[in-house]
Amino acid sequence: MQQYLRMKGKYRDAILLFRVGDFYETFAEDAVKTAEVTGIVLTSRNNGGSDVELAGFPYHALDLYMPKLVKAGLRVAICEQLKSPQRNGRSSVGV
């Protein structure tokens, strides 16, 4: 979540599609908006004592969901993992 929060801080006005394995995930307010616009299921997970909303879709379905987000007037940022998540305790990502 730290990596997500760091990237979200740079793109506060955008829905951040955060690549986690084979899925693009959205969290918190982004997840609520994404679920409303796309019709995907909104779930939640416990993140150290508090529930966080979560909505995601398979990476190969980007062409299906991205147009829905953009047509709804939302700005979208995509965060891809470029290297192994553990490299000297740091992750490398690109947006």
Of 90 and 13, the structure prediction assigns the larger pLDDT to 13
| 92, pLDDT greater than 60 | no
| 88, pLDDT greater than 80 | no
Q: What is the mean pLDDT of residues 16-20?
A: 95
**According to the model, what pLDDT value does residue 34 have?**
97
Enter the pTM of the model.
Answer: 0.81
Neighbours of 77 (CB within 10 A): 17
Listed by start position, the domains of the chain span: 2-94
Of 93 and 65, the structure prediction assigns the larger pLDDT to 65
**According to the model, what pLDDT value does residue 3 have?**
87
Q: What is the pLDDT of residues 20-71, one digit of tens each?
A: 999 999 999 999 999 999 999 999 887 666 788 999 999 999 999 999 999 9
C-alpha atoms less than 13 angstroms from C-alpha of 47 in its C-beta half-sphere: 13
Neighbours of 81 (CB within 10 A): 15
Q: Which fold has domain 2-94?
A: MutS, DNA mismatch repair protein, domain I (3.40.1170)
